[in-house]
């Protein structure tokens, strides 16, 4: 029998149904030690091997009207230099577990868009409001020194973004961004190293808050899946840009 890469505590029927409920009502779920400790350690080591391959990524999204300024290691580089990180993505048990949580049939993303490593370093990085093209995102915090609320670098989420947009259809995106701040629609998640957040990438508006100090950093591994039933409204080139290819 193949040993699960997921922490066994999350594979029990009761845990699965609790996580499923939370994911489907909130649009996201945060899990401590989601991967087995040796798998997490392995992923951290792989990042060290890959870290010289990070590239600066400076981008304005016309669709979201926001900026992104960070470093990334894209899917094709990861695949070439650290194929085992792709094997974790391809793990069938992980896929089935995610399908039972999301209640959907998940499929691989096109080409190199299955995964990316994001590196935010210093206080000049920007990661503005956006939704992803992909239905389900698994975001693992590999390393950080910003898990206390005063330092920034948190993941900010607006689960009911589309209903807010619908209700306020006369407003443009920047006006909507102001509205979500003043009306307190934003959930702030300070992920600690080894924590995972799984969220509805194409539904939940999200951004990363600016870090405060020069020595602040956060490194995340993102895996993305499409839902076989979701209709695509966003063109592929947006996602290519998002994923640093
Ligand atoms: O780095 C993160 O925590 C999230 C980044 C993100 O949303 C993205 O790259 O699309
Ligand atoms: Fe994103």
Residue 108 domain boundaries: 8-242
Q: Is residue 220 part of a domain?
A: yes
The CATH number linked to 171 is 2.60.120.620
Round to whole Å and give the CA distance between 71 and 59. 11
Q: Is residue 112 part of a domain?
A: yes
Q: Is residue 2 part of a domain?
A: no
Residues at Cβ < 5 Å from ligand 2 ion: 132
- 171: its two tokens: 């407003």
Share of residues in the chain with pLDDT > 70 (%): 93
Q: Is residue 16 part of a domain?
A: yes
List CB contacts of 190: < 8 A, sequence separation 6 or more.
146, 147, 148, 149, 153, 154
- How many domains does the chain fold into? 1
Q: Is residue 212 part of a domain?
A: yes
Q: Is residue 3 part of a domain?
A: no
pLDDT 10s digits, 24-62: 999 999 999 999 999 999 999 999 999 999 999 888 888
> Which of 57, 118, 225 for a ligand 1 pocket mutation test, highest count of atoms within 8 Å of Cβ?
118
Q: Is 68 in the pocket of ligand 1 (CB under 6 A)?
A: no
Query: What average pLDDT does this structure show over 10-14?
Result: 96
Q: Is 180 in the pocket of ligand 1 (CB under 6 A)?
A: no
Confidence of residue 236 (pLDDT cuts 50, 70, 90): very low
Q: Is residue 1 part of a domain?
A: no
Round to whole Å and give the CA distance between 41 and 47. 10
Q: Is 133 in the pocket of ligand 1 (CB under 6 A)?
A: no
Q: Which ligand is nearest the CA of 113, by number?
A: 1
Is residue 218 over pLDDT 80? yes
pLDDT at residue 239, as a whole number = 45
pLDDT at residue 66, as a whole number = 83
pLDDT 10s digits, 57-108: 888 888 777 889 999 999 999 999 999 999 999 999 999 999 999 999 999 9
Q: Is residue 47 part of a domain?
A: yes
Whether 104 contacts 229, CB under 8 Å: yes
Q: Is 220 in the pocket of ligand 1 (CB under 6 A)?
A: yes
| Ligand 2 centroid from CA 208, angstroms | 9
Query: What average pLDDT does this structure show over 209-213?
Result: 93
pLDDT at residue 245, as a whole number = 45
155 strand-pairing partners: 189, 208
């Amino acid at each position: 029998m193949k040993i699960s890469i997921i922490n066994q505590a999350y594979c029990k029927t009761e845990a699965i149904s609790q996580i499923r409920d939370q994911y489907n009502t909130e649009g996201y779920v945060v899990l401590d030690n989601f991967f087995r400790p040796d798998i997490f350690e392995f992923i951290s080591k792989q990042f060290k091997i890959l870290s010289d391959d990070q590239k600066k990524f400076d981008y304005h999204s016309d669709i979201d009207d926001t900026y992104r300024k960070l470093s990334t290691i894209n899917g094709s580089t990861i695949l070439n230099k650290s194929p085992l990180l792709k094997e974790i993505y391809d793990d069938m048990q992980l896929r089935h577990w995610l399908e039972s949580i999301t209640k959907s049939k998940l499929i691989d993303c096109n080409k190199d868009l299955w995964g990316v490593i994001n590196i935010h370093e210093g206080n000049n990085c920007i990661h503005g409001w956006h939704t992803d093209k992909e239905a389900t995102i698994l975001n693992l915090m590999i390393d950080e020194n910003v898990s206390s609320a005063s330092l920034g670098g948190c993941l900010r989420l607006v689960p009911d973004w589309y209903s807010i947009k619908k209700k306020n259809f006369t407003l443009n995106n920047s006006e909507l961004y102001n509205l979500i701040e003043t009306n307190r629609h934003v959930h702030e998640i300070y992920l600690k190293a080894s924590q995972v957040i799984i969220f509805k990438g194409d539904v939940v508006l999200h951004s990363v808050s600016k870090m405060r100090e020069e020595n602040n950093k956060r490194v995340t591994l993102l895996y993305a899946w499409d839902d076989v039933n979701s209709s695509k409204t966003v063109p592929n080139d947006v996602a290519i840009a998002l994923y640093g290819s």
